[in-house]
Amino acid sequence: MAAIRERRLDRSEALWARAQKSILSGTQLYSKGPETHIRGVSPIYIERGKGAHVWDPDGNEYIDYDMGLGPILLGYAYEAVDGAIIEQLGRGMGFSLVSPPEVEYAELCLRHIPSAGKVRFLKTGSSATEAAIRIARAYTGKKHVIRGEYHGWHEWTASGESVRQGGILPDVRLAVHRFEYNDLESAERLFATYPGDVAALITEPVMLEAPKPGFLEGLKKLCADNGALLVFDEVVDGFRFSIGGAQEYFGITPDLSTFGKAAANGMPLSIVAGSREIMDAVDRSIFISTTFGGETLSLAAGIAVMHELENKPVTKRIWSLGERLKGETNQMARRLGVGIELEGYPCRMAFDYRDDKGGRDWLYNSLFMQECVKRGILLGWSIFPCYSHTDADIEETLNVFEDAMKVYRKALDSGNPASYMEGEQLKVVLG
Ligand SMILES: Cc1ncc(COP(=O)(O)O)c(C=O)c1O
């Protein structure tokens, strides 16, 4: 049994009220906003973190599993990374000329990322996918883009979404087409619809569902046969699956790839990588240029992350923590007779929630998240084990999961699970 914590959320609520008057939509990333949590029960703000633990402005402590929505690979306030940032801070954050950490970090990327013959650095995952598509169009001279799930907020990718289309030129939408992951035919159909005019197919190499045998290889061949570039968006997978990303894990090297989130353990750093042949071919025609691309604190953090990955069993530990959490959670769910399952690879998981008939409802996610956060476990969309989660953290989490599953069972048995909600149900938001 894990105790339900006595908590107040007054400071979180007061800050959110102020944000309504000063910040567009109240948040910089929609999925960090309170709509994706249980309003009235979940904290809205996090003020500080250490290891895998975070504290809200009211002083409540939680074990976190969404890890800053992906960036926190090693842990919050992780000494080797923070030390490297502080050391670099003493030298300067950025200069009037290019600076040595750019070269050092580029060489580390080339050493470890299979598709990296040359790289460029940006600040966000969106900028990296924007750059990849620009490179692909410049290299191929073609127009259309076949895309997978979420790739960021820039115009070409946002135009392929079904929500928040304000301000996007309708013409952009005509050149962006979605295909279904693990459905090679859906990609083949699009190549056939725009023969000879597809610049790139961009997809995450993997999300939760494992790639079917031959799927990633099939995409590579399809692109090669049609003169298009294969782009792996590793903004989430990168550095979690392995130091060389999911491309290294699956042994499939794309033409271009993008990395972001976990690259610098929370500092803003993203990478677009490509073969030397492609990068050299577009060098004189492409325009990718940004003041903070060579900002040194993030590069120092990125170098420190690479060194931790090189020298410590980070990847192995993250995978083994995830395996334990997944195995024991799913076993527990079966024992308690609830339709809850942790899905995905151990380094990148998410919950699937169902009722006894196999039906899904956001109410079910909300119920489980509510019961967890009341007991000090903060869940979001993803479950990302980090290097600093301890065995004791996992023990405690499993205790809380057991209590939350028992409430979930009772709520379903009551015939009125909504009556178990103490706060507002979460909403699905994009981005
Ligand atoms: C697969 C993928 N690509 C790109 C992005 C965009 O990254 P950013 O939010 O850093 O712009 C995200 C963000 O969640 C993502 O999940």
Nearest to 237 by CA among 189, 181, 307: 181
> pLDDT by residue (tens digit) across 219-263?
999 999 999 999 999 999 999 999 999 999 999 999 999 999 999
Quote the tokens at residue 158: 């946002």
Residue nearest to atom 13 of ligand 1 (CA): 152
Quote the tokens at residue 412: 């379903």
- Please, which pLDDT band fits residue 5 given cuts at 50, 70 and 90? confident
> pLDDT by residue (tens digit) across 138-160?
999 999 999 999 999 999 999 98
Q: At what angle do helices 391-413 and 362-373 cross, to 10 degrees?
A: 130
Place of tokens 């400071």: 11
Tell me the fold of 95-294: Aspartate Aminotransferase; domain 2 (3.40.640)
Nearest to 350 by CA among 403, 428, 409: 428
CA–centroid distance, 385 to ligand 1, in Å, is 19
Q: Check: CB of residue 19 under 8 Å from CB of residue 26.
A: yes
Which letter does DSSP use for residue 383 in this model?
B
In this prediction the pTM is 0.97
Q: Residue 288's Cα: distance from chain center in Å?
A: 24
Atom of ligand 1 nearest to the CA of 70: 14
CA–centroid distance, 420 to ligand 1, in Å, is 34
Q: At what angle do helices 391-413 and 314-336 cross, to 10 degrees?
A: 30
> 103 burial class (0-12, 13-18, 19+ CB within 10 angstroms)?
exposed
CA–CA dist 412, 252 (Å, integer): 44
CA–centroid distance, 233 to ligand 1, in Å, is 9
**CA 426, 428, 429, 431 torsion-angle sign:** positive
Quote the tokens at residue 351: 């919950």
CA–CA dist 314, 328 (Å, integer): 21
The continuous run of DSSP H or E covering 84 comes out as helix 79-91
> pLDDT by residue (tens digit) across 270-317?
999 999 999 999 999 999 999 999 999 999 999 999 999 999 999 999
CA–centroid distance, 271 to ligand 1, in Å, is 12
CA–centroid distance, 183 to ligand 1, in Å, is 22
pLDDT at 428: 83
CA–centroid distance, 298 to ligand 1, in Å, is 17
Nearest to 258 by CA among 114, 132, 72: 132
Nearest to 259 by CA among 241, 276, 277: 241
Q: How far apart are the first and last CA of the chain?
A: 35
- Identify the residues whose C-beta falls under 6 Å from ligand 1: 124-126, 129, 150-152, 204, 233, 235-236, 260
SS3 111: helix
Mean per-residue pLDDT, 353-379: 97
CA–CA dist 111, 305 (Å, integer): 14
Domain-wise residue ranges, the chain: 10-76+314-420, 95-294
Q: What is the percent of the chain where pLDDT is above 70?
A: 100
To test ligand 1's pocket by mutation, which of 122, 236, 290 has the most ligand atoms within 8 angstroms of CB?
A: 236
**CATH class of the domain comprising 10-76+314-420:** alpha beta
Strand 256-259 to 270-274 pairing: antiparallel
Q: Is the pLDDT reported for residue 88 higher than 90?
A: yes
CA–CA dist 424, 181 (Å, integer): 32
